[in-house]
Amino acid sequence: VGDFSAPVALDLKEYADKAVLETSAIQVEIIREPWQMRILDKKGNLVWTTRPVDIEPLRRPVVQWNPPQERWLFLHRYAYPCGLTAEGTKTAFASFDLRHDEHIYGLGEDFGRLDKRNVEHRLWIQEGFGNASPASYKQTPFYISTRGYGLYWNTSNALKYNIGSLEHTALSVVVEETDLVDFYWIYGPSMKEILPRYTAITGAPGVPPEWTFGLWMARITYDNQAQVEAVAEELRAHQIPCDVIHIDTGWYEIEWVCDLDFSHTRFPNPFEMMARLREKGFRVSLWQLPNLIIESCLFAEAAEKGYLAKRPYGKPYLLPGFLSEAGILDYSNAEAVAWIKEKFRCLFAQGAAVIKADFGEGAPPDAVYSSVKGEAMHNLFPLLYNQAVFEATEEHYGKGQGVIWARSAWAGSQRYPLHWSGDGIARYEDLACVLRSALSFGLSGFPFYSHDVGGFSGIPSPELYARWIQFGAFSSHVRCHGQPPREPWEYGGEVEGIFKRFMELRYRLLPYILTEARDCGRTSLPMLRALALEFQQDASTYGIEDEYLFGSSILVAPILDETGRRRVYLPDGAWVEYWGKQIFRGPRWIEVEAPLDRIPLFVRAGAVIPYGPLVQYVGEKVCDPLTLEL
């Protein structure tokens, strides 16, 4: 994707023991024996280095060697050098120095630690049900270091990272099933400079349409036309701002049997339904998946046309499904992509606004695909899947109007927003996991990320539901979804009032949110910004994973347990507590109390926060009056 055709001034010098390449920013040394690459900044400070072959000459005399000669001593350490296996399974590998004060972020969505130091991590996309396991739906072979560099492996094969876990002084990488070492080393020195340089390689992030920043209301599942329209009426009657109603697995004749056709009995006139909803300010999102259950007419058609992933002997590769076996659409086949995009366009013509690109983590590596090897297709599948659904949307609605609601992703999927955390559980513990995953995803080149308010599985307590919508209000996108009920009036009058208050605040903050979103698209910085990204010189921020900047000016510290209180770190500068306007000066830790109707918020002193008028949906009124809070 990146354009590297522009000339760059390089100065190459050859010496007996090394070659030195200089640019305006860095100096690259290639040591000849044993082979090693070192990169220094313009002041001569070492920024990064590969590990050489872990042996050294043994020069002391050894009596039994006759005649005396130089021998090599193996140091018996675990950080392997840069190289390839000579026999057996093809593998590429490399190790790099990991400094004592270095911290590593990225590698995609991760529900565990934000700082990846002392972590073993295998990039192999899996379903991350529960949002609390090492498995995750969205991964990317790119990480970023507090020492001022990033590193991107240009592959979709499985990778294994040992970040100080194999040897405390080394970051080691193994790429499976390949005979190619291919990575990009990206200099900053600030992490905020590295992110756009990474996306210059894999693709600039897309910015979703303005209406997507409103509330999305869903459950699993609305299953008939009357129910969908009744929820829309309730939202307007309760004066809860909302822009999207999502219909999940229940809009087909048989739930889960994805044939991209509305049930003729339960949705007798979807065109009129979506037209009426649109008049009220709602858009409709529709669920589907790439696994075509064999009872579906789409399975038969795709199998006949050869559009499914295959067994080596030519028959469709069948995966276990919820109802029965399913074939998987081969998104590496250009004809299959054109075929499914036409199906999506028929839904857009009926009035659908966005397609939920669910699943995508299950492409079998032992299947045969049209144009990609199976071992590379498993991780690549989400990117091709995201791209096809996004392009179908944009081709119908126009440039800049493309959007999907996707669960899986790989490097480059930032071009096709937007993504959500998948199927979490209604627990406070999962709320903290989702926050960590949002920050990790943002440090991987993805500005936009969402989650299911309340958790997908299980019924949240009213208090948890209230805390989750507060976090949702200060996420890039906000959607209620999961096991019913998920509508706010089902959680009691107090919680409904809290929900309404925070949605009204979010909609009034749309001038701020939309401005920040456009800036995130331009800079590749995330809407939910880890403090380490914004305050890289402050080592106290490196391990903070439970608070963040929402855009450039608002510090958010969600309440993540039942206590209603927490510690908050305020970085250097003056910070205005949002609700009471008390001024605090950082850097410092403070203890805060937050009753159920509050989330701890702090605004940078000197910031200008714009508010629009209260609306029930994006675009209901012009942004007049515009109120500025200084």
Q: What number of other Cβ atoms are within 10 A of residue 233's Cβ?
A: 11
Q: Are 446 and 205 in contact (CB under 8 A)?
A: yes
Q: Is 375 in contact with 308 (CB distance < 8 Å)?
A: no
Measured CA to CA in angstroms, residue 11 lies from 26, 56, 412 at distances of 11, 31, 32
Q: Determine if the peptide bond prior to 34 is cis (ω within 30°).
A: yes
β partners of residue 36: 31
Candidates 145, 161, 150, 40; CA nearest to 31 is 40
**523 CB burial (10 A radius; 0-12, 13-18, 19+):** middle
DSSP line for 240-252: ----EEEE-GGGS
Whether 519 is catalytic: no
Q: How many residues does the chain have?
A: 630
Please tell me which residue in 115, 361, 452, 496 is annotated as part of the active site. 361
**In what helix (H) or strand (E) does residue 216 lie, and over which residues does it extend?**
strand 215-217
Which residue is catalytic, options 102, 261, 330, 358?
Answer: 358
Residue in 508, 548, 545, 546 with CA at minimum distance from that of residue 525: 548
Q: Using alpha carbons only, how large is the chain's radius of gyration in Å? A: 26
Is the separation of the CB atoms in 522 and 492 below 8 Å? Answer: no
Q: Is 358 a catalytic residue?
A: yes
In angstroms, how far is the first alpha carbon of the chain from the final one? 41
Residue 190's nearest CA partner among 555, 549, 538, 547 is 538
Nearest to 328 by CA among 362, 285, 377, 374: 362
Q: What is the DSSP string of 431-476?
A: HHHHHHHHHHHHTTT----B-EET-SBSPPPHHHHHHHHHHHHTSS
The residues annotated with a catalytic role in the active site are: 358, 361
